[in-house]
Amino acid sequence: MNVKIYTDGSARGNPDGPGGYGVVIHYVDPKGALHTREYSGGYKKTTNNRMELMAAIIGLEALNQPCNVELYSDSQYVIKAFNEHWIDGWIQKDWKRGKNEPVKNVDLWKRLLAAKKPHEVTFIWVKGHNGHPQNERCDQLATKAADGDSLMVDEGLMS
Query: What's the CATH number for 2-153?
Result: 3.30.420.10
Nearest CA-CA partner of 37 in 18, 19, 58: 58
Mean pLDDT of 15-24: 72
Whether 129 is catalytic: yes
Query: Which among 9, 19, 20, 41 is annotated as catalytic?
Result: 9
Whether 107 is catalytic: no
∠ CA 25-72-125 to the nearest 5 degrees? 175
pTM score of the predicted model: 0.83
How far apart CA 150 and CA 41 sit, in angstroms, is 9
CB 56 within 8 A of CB 73: yes
How far apart CA 7 and CA 141 sit, in angstroms, is 9
Whether 88 is catalytic: no
Please give the DSSP secondary-structure letter assigned to residue 129: T
Query: Which among 38, 84, 128, 129 is annotated as catalytic?
Result: 129
Query: Which among 41, 59, 119, 139 is annotated as catalytic?
Result: 139
CB 60 within 8 A of CB 112: yes
pLDDT digits (tens, 9 = 90+) for 43-70: 666 777 888 898 999 999 989 899 999 9
